[in-house]
Amino acid sequence: MTDNRDRRTASSRKVPPRRSSPKARQSAEIIRIAQDDNVDGGGTDEVTSESVQGEEPRRPATGLFGQTQPNAAFFFPWLAFLAKGTEPDALFAQPPGFCPWWPVVEHSDHKEAPRGVDPPAPQEDQLEGPSSIDRLLHAAVGRATLGVSPAALALAYADWAAHLAGSPGKQAQLAQKAARKAVRLGLYAMRCATDPNTCPCIEPLPQDRRFRGPEWQRWPFNLIYQSFLLNQQWWHNATTGVRGVSPHQEQVVSFVARQFLDLFSPSNFLATNPELLELTAKEGGQNLIRGAVNWVEDWERAVAGRPPVGSEAIQVGRDVAVTPGKVVYRNRLIELIQYEPTTEEVHAEPILIVPAWIMKYYILDLSPHNSLVRYLVERGHTVFIISWRNPGVDDRDLDLEAYRKLGIEKALKAIDAIVPGRKVDAVGYCLGGTLMAIEAAKLAREGGDRLNTLTLLAAQTDFREPGELSLFIDEGELAFLEDIMWDQGYLDTKQMAGAFQMLRSNDLIWSRLLHNYLAGERKELTDLMAWNADATRMPYKMHSEYLRKLFLRNDLSEGHYEVDGRPVVLSDIRVPVFTVGTETDHVSPWRSVYKIHLPVDTDVTFVLTSGGHNAGIVSEPGHPRRRFRISLRRAEEKYMDPDTWFANTHPQEGSWWPAWATWLEEQSSGDAPPPPMGASDKEYAPLCDAPGTYVSQR
C-alpha cells in the first residue's frame, strides 16, 4: 500500500533540472532517492477502499523507538547548502517522514525465516539514501587519511592490543628482551669508550643502507643508530608472534609500527645524521638553502598538478616511445599500435602485448637501448601493443569486462584482419597479464585456437599470497577505498603512488626527502623515473571489481570468475606458457607469480630475474649486474615448490630477453613476409604515427 498522496502530486513538486556541479548533482540525487523511498513506503498510510482485499492495512512508518519520523529539515539543513544546484525550499518542503538516514520500521506481522535459510537481503533502493551519505563522509575522511581507513586500522590495533593484554607470558618475554637489549647497548657503549673499532652489537638488515657510511661508526652517532636498530628489533618482536592475532591484522600492526619507526630514524634529522652535518659544515649551509629551494619548487608543482622537475627533458615520442609504428585501431578505451618491421621476413605469428592500465604502455618502449618492443622487432617479430586511455570521471562505470572486450577482444579482432589466419603470441604485463590469462581461459573454454603462446610478465593469477599489498586489502579498507572512488569516479594517481611508496618507504620516501631537501641534491631524471611519474587513473567500477573479485575473493584461481555469465578456469589453457617473476617485486611477489604452475596443465617455462617489478622486466642485454634463473616444467612432470626450485635452479648472468626470444622462435611455425601496416579495406587504416594520442593524456 502506498501513500494516499498520488505519485503525480509528488512528481509535480520536483524542481526543474538546472545546470550544476557534480557535487551538487550528487547531493540532489541523495534527496531524490530518499523522496522516492518515502513515496513508495513512508509517510502516513491510511486504510482506503482501494486496499487489496485480504491484505492487512499497513500502519504508519515509524522510527526505531516508535515515534513518527521527523522532517529532514530538523536533522539536515546543511543538505540544502551541499546541493548547490537545488533550491533550499525544495529540501525543506519534503513530505512528513522524509529523512535519508532514519531507519524505517514497518509494523507488520513478522515471520521468521526457516532455520538454515538466510533472510532476504534489503533491496538496493532501500539502502541507497543512507549509503550515499555514508560514502560522502568516508570520501571526505579518506582525503585527510590518504585513503587509509581509520576503522580498519583501529580494528587491527584492537585485535593486537587485546591479545597482547591477555598474554602475560608474551609480556614477560618482551620485558626480558628489553632488559637484554639495554644491557647489550650499555656494554657496547663502554667498549666503544676504550676501543673505537668495537664491532656493533646489532647489524642492519641487508637492504637497509642508511647507516653504511663510516661517519656512523664514530661516537656518539654509533650509539644513536645502534639504539635505534635495537628499538626497531624490539618493536618487531612486540607486534609479531602474539598468539590469537589474525595474520592480516598482525601484518597491518607490524607494518604501521615500521612506518612510524622509519619516520623517526636518526638518518632523517640533521642533528643526528653525521653525513649531513659534515656536508653542511663543508658547504657552509648552502645545501640547506638549495634544499629549501627544491622544496618550494616541488610544492609549487604538486599544487599545480605539474610533473616533477626534470621531466620536461624527457618527452614521449621524442626521447621515449620512439619505435616507428602506426595506430591502426582506436576506440573509447584503447589505441592499438602496430610497429613497422625492420627485417625482410618476420616470424609468422604476431605478438600482442597487453600492458597494465595502471601504467603508460611505453614502459616496454623506453629509450632505444632498453626498449623491449624495439628488441622484438629487430628479432623479426610483428609487434602490436595496446595503449590504454587515461580514464576520467565519465569512465567511472567501466568494469573489468569492458577492459577485456574493448581492449583484448578488439585488439585480437584487428590483428586477425591485418594478419589473417595467424595465431597470436599473447603477452601480458602485471594487471594486463592477469586479464590476458582470463581471456586465454575464455578462448580455451570455447575451444578456440586463437593463441599460439601465452607470456605473463610479473603477473599474478592466484592472489592468496599477494605480498605486502594485501595490507591495504580487507573488507573494511576496501569499502573505504570504494567510497573514495565512488565520490571521485576513479582512483587518483597520487593515491596509488602513495600506497606503493609506503611499501618501500626508506628508498622511495625518506631517502628522496633526505637527498632533495637536506643534502640539497637532485638526481638526474632517467627514462624509467620519468615514466614512473607519468601515472594513470583507475576507473571506480573496474578497480573495485579487481580488488574485490581477484584480490579479496581470489575468484580466478578458485574457478569462480565469470566471463559471459560462465566461470573460466585456468586449467583449460593448453598453449605453452612463459612466466617471468622478479626477485624484489613488492607488487607481484615472485612466489605468488610462481603459482601459475598449479592450475595450468601445459608446459610452463618459469624465469626469475634480478630486480623489481619494473627494473626486472626492463632488463636489456648488456645491463650491468643482471642475472636470471630459468627452468621448464613439462605438463606431465610433478610440481616443485618455489623454495626448492630456487635452491635447485642455478643463476645465469645477463638478461632474460634472449632466452624469451629464443623460446618464442621455437614455438613459431616459420617465417613469412611482413604484413601491411593496418588494413584499409577492413576499417583498420593507419590513424596516426606511434605513440598515438592516448599516451599523452594526463
Calculate mean pLDDT across residues 181-186.
Answer: 94
Model pLDDT for residues 196-235, shown as the tens digit of each residue: 888 899 999 888 889 989 999 998 999 999 999 999 999 9
Distance CA 456, CA 466 (A): 16
Window from 106-120, 128-142, 543-557 with minimum mean pLDDT: 106-120
* pLDDT of 654 above 60: yes
R_g of the chain, CA atoms, integer Å:
30
Of 99, 192, 201, 430, which is the active-site residue? Answer: 430
pLDDT value at 27 more than 70: no
Q: In the structure grid, which three cell numbers stand for residue 574, read together?
A: 593448453
Question: pLDDT tens digits, residue range 529-567?
Answer: 889 888 899 999 999 999 999 999 999 999 999 999 999
Q: What is the pLDDT of residue 45?
A: 37
pLDDT at 667 over 90: yes
Per-residue confidence band for 642, with pLDDT thresholds at 50, 70 and 90: very high
Compute the average pLDDT of residues 88-99.
40
| 28 CB-near residues (< 8 Å, 6+ apart) | 20, 83, 85, 86
Q: Which residue has the higher pLDDT, 158 or 142?
A: 158
- Distance, CA of 346 to CA of 350 (rounded, Å): 9
The number of beta carbons lying within 10 Å of the beta carbon of residue 59 is 13
Per-residue pLDDT of 474-527, as tens digits, reads 888 888 888 889 888 998 877 776 666 776 777 778 888 898 999 999 888 889
Per DSSP, the residues of 476-505 read HHHHHHHHHHHHHSEE-HHHHHHHHHHHTH
CA-angle at 577, arms to 572 and 579, nearest 5°: 125
pTM assigned to the model: 0.79
Is residue 199 flagged as an active site residue?
A: no
Place of cell 611477489: 589
pLDDT at 498: 67
Over residues 361-398, the pLDDT tens digits come to 999 999 999 999 999 999 999 999 999 999 999 999 99
Q: What is the pLDDT of residues 293-331, one digit of tens each?
A: 999 999 998 888 788 888 888 999 999 999 999 999 999
Q: What is the secondary structure of 178-237 as a DSSP string? A: HHHHHHHHHHHHHHHHH-TTPPPSSPPPTT--TT-SGGGGSTTHHHHHHHHHHHHHHHHH
C-alpha cell recorded at residue 556: 580466478
In degrees, to the nearest 5, what angle opens at C-alpha 268 toward C-alphas 264 and 273?
A: 115
pLDDT band (50, 70, 90) for residue 143: confident
In the DSSP assignment, the letter for residue 329 is E
The whole-number pLDDT of residue 473 equals: 83
- In the three-class reduction of DSSP (H, G, I as helix; E, B as strand; rest coil), residue 632 is classed as strand
pLDDT of 657 > 80? The answer is yes
Selected residue with higher pLDDT from 23 and 399: 399
pLDDT number for residue 510: 83
pLDDT-above-90 percentage for the chain: 60
Provide the mean pLDDT of the chain: 83
Answer whether the bond into residue 691 is a cis peptide, omega within 30°.
yes
Position 275 scores a pLDDT of: 94
- CA dist 45 and 64 (Å) reads 18
Q: How far apart are CA 647 and CA 644, in angstroms?
A: 5
In sequence order, what are the residues at sequence separation of 6 or more whose Cβ sits closer than 8 angstroms to the Cβ of residue 599? 461, 462, 557, 569, 570, 571
| Predicted confidence band of residue 6 (pLDDT cuts 50, 70, 90) | very low
Give per-residue pLDDT as tens, 58-84: 434 344 334 444 443 333 443 333 333
What's the confidence (pLDDT) of residue 448?
A: 82
Distance CA 196, CA 174 (A): 31
CA–CA dist 609, 590 (Å, integer): 9
State the pLDDT at residue 382: 97
Residue 43 or residue 157, greater confidence? 157
pLDDT at 693: 96
